[in-house]
Structure 1
Amino acid sequence: MIKLRLRRMGKKKQPHYRIVAAEARWPRDGRFIEVIGYYNPRTDPYTLEVNVERARWWLEHGAQPTDTVRALLVRAGVLPPRQAGQGTVQQARPEASTESANQESNA
């Protein structure tokens, strides 16, 4: 599975990051397929550069962004902001439990 994630760069105590497409099994700072952006949280304001075309291409072809990269892509305008209730955890359907209760009472 291909992930869009951050690759740490810079000296000790002075990090900046590259946004890369990499296989999920590869190490964080190891191999990568392509650099699609740059993020420096230490500047004021932060620096964020993203190749929008390549980011959208990877997303269309099944790449999964990490939570941090997803937030950065929303800031860059590549992804729409998450709506309330669109979390990754699926909620139980209450109608399924009432249907089974109704079927038991009818029997």
Structure 2
Amino acid sequence: MAMSSLFNRPETDARTIAWDKDPENAKWLQAMYTKHLGRDVDEEGLTYWGGDLRGDAGRPIQTRTEVLANIMLSPEYSCHQKGGFYVHKTQMCVSKDSIYAELNKEVV
């Protein structure tokens, strides 16, 4: 493979693949994530919620209203409404104040 072809290949990551699978629902999910979670939708969200909207893997098809209701039942939504940051790895809601306090300890 020529070196130039390595640099000219379009980037394809899991999020792009998930987005391309269902662009209309992906755009809607991006808007809902921005509005209700304060962040961009990731590949996991596109796959999970997009799968609910499409009825993937034999799941019943859900409407956008049903998917939004489920997003709003999530711990991340609850955390965001309280002004915190949801840490997916630990499944914990961390307050901004505690983050700032930790940062100040490191600086001093």
Whether TM-score is above 0.5 comes out as: no
Scaled by the length of structure 2, what TM-score is found? 0.24
Scaled by the length of structure 1, what TM-score is found? 0.24
Structure (1 or 2) with the larger CA radius of gyration = 1
Relative contact order (alpha carbons < 8 A, sep ≥ 6): 1 or 2 greater?
1
